[in-house]
Amino acid sequence: MQKKSILYAILNYKCPRCRVGNIFVYPLTQNPSKFIKTHKTCPHCELLFEVEPGFFFGAMYVSYALTMAIMLVAAFILYYFFNDPEIWVYVTTVIVLILLLLPVVFRLSRTIYLYAFGGIKYNSSYSEP
């Protein structure tokens, strides 16, 4: 079986051990209103995702960093490509962007946190069907 890259696995919210099973129950495109619903264990290799109680609280630091990055990119684009509009345009754009990207930021921050601090190593033997 072809080895899946860590970038592919993170961007597709895959389990860090097998990179096959999904961390979240529903795909974002199918059921965006239930973006929070997370599997307790990997549906493929049965890895327990919540390493310890409250483990995912740390993901809010990753979420904060991602949100700041989105704000900076939005401000940069508005400043250089829209000729420095009034302040209310900045505020409105950033608020709308953050709300629209909330499900993506939520999932990415949990996934990145799990990969970075979960202490789980990729094992290709778990990838097999």
Binding to Zn ion by residue 42, rule CB under 5 A? yes
Binding to Zn ion by residue 18, rule CB under 5 A? yes
Phi (first) and psi of residue 116, to 5 degrees: -80, -40
Q: How far is the CB of 16 from Zn ion (least distance, A)?
A: 8
Give the residue with the Cβ less far from Zn ion, 10 or 42.
42
Give the residue with the Cβ less far from Zn ion, 39 or 63.
39
Binding to Zn ion by residue 104, rule CB under 5 A? no
Rounded Cα distance, 127 and 5, in Å = 12
Binding to Zn ion by residue 45, rule CB under 5 A? yes
Which of 8, 40, 11, 9 has the alpha carbon at shortest distance from 24?
40
The stretch among 4-12, 23-31, 36-44, 86-94 that binds Zn ion (CB under 5 A) is 36-44
Give the residue with the Cβ less far from Zn ion, 44 or 110.
44
Q: Which residues bind Zn ion (CB under 5 A)?
A: 15, 17-18, 21, 42, 44-45, 47
